[in-house]
Structure 1
Amino acid sequence: MTIATTPHLNFRGDARAALDLYAAAFGGTTTVVTYADAHAVTDAAEADQVMWGQVVSPDGFRVMAYDVPSHTAYEPGVIPVFVSVRGADADELTRYWERLVDGATVVVPLGPAAWAPLYGMLRDRFGVTWVLDVAVPWDAA
């Protein structure tokens, strides 16, 4: 299996505009899933904000982004980046998780999610936030 490590940028309401800028700068395809699309709205005013988004260019540029919801603490410049490790093999991703979790704070336990068969988030003992998931195509239907 191959994996991809992608910068995952955090915003408060500006993720879509940032992704549009990066797509314009680097080319590529933008995918955006809103909180409403994912049936994960916790504040109606944020329903159209980005729960998950990415730009992928044929030249290899990749970036992911999301809008931190208002119920979650957010300070620009503090935890501005997640490291996203995506792959197709759940067993391999589980092994990475097991190696990272020692001394870490689990933010979201590794397990099934509405958008992925396996997803988890942790902050390692150095303060780096990691997101591991099995990548699947987004079906907006």
Structure 2
Amino acid sequence: MADVRPPTGVTPYINVDGAKRALEFYEKAFAGEVKQTMPAEGSDRLMHAEIAINGTSIYLSDFFPDYGFPPVPPQAFNLHIHVEDAQAWWDRAVGAGCLVVQPLKKEFWGDIYGQLRDPFGVTWAIGQSDTH
């Protein structure tokens, strides 16, 4: 049996409408690598999934109103990806179908930064430290 260790730190856990489609989208938009999926019995929904993006895991699942987890829109957060080449990550995500919320540009604090919204309503931030 594989040595499965729980993650340390804080792991984002998001609920989306269409977790299987979200996994496919995150693979394409953010070079994600699906680590595990756990389908709900007798359903095409996922009760749990894990995808690694830029070296960090994100957990996700479908909504389950029948078990007290009704659909709600994402609220007051973004998933920040800090990378070496923000423009390449940005272009891939926009090309996959993310919508621009805040354009990618050099910000007053010196970093390159922008925000996108994916087709599932989740806001993503892409940032790069400016070393110039």
Q: TM-score range by the shorter chain?
A: 0.3 to 0.5
- TM-score normalized by the length of structure 2: 0.42
Q: Whose Rg is larger?
A: 2
- TM-score normalized by the length of structure 1: 0.40
Higher relative contact order (Cα pairs below 8 Å, separated by 6+ residues): 1
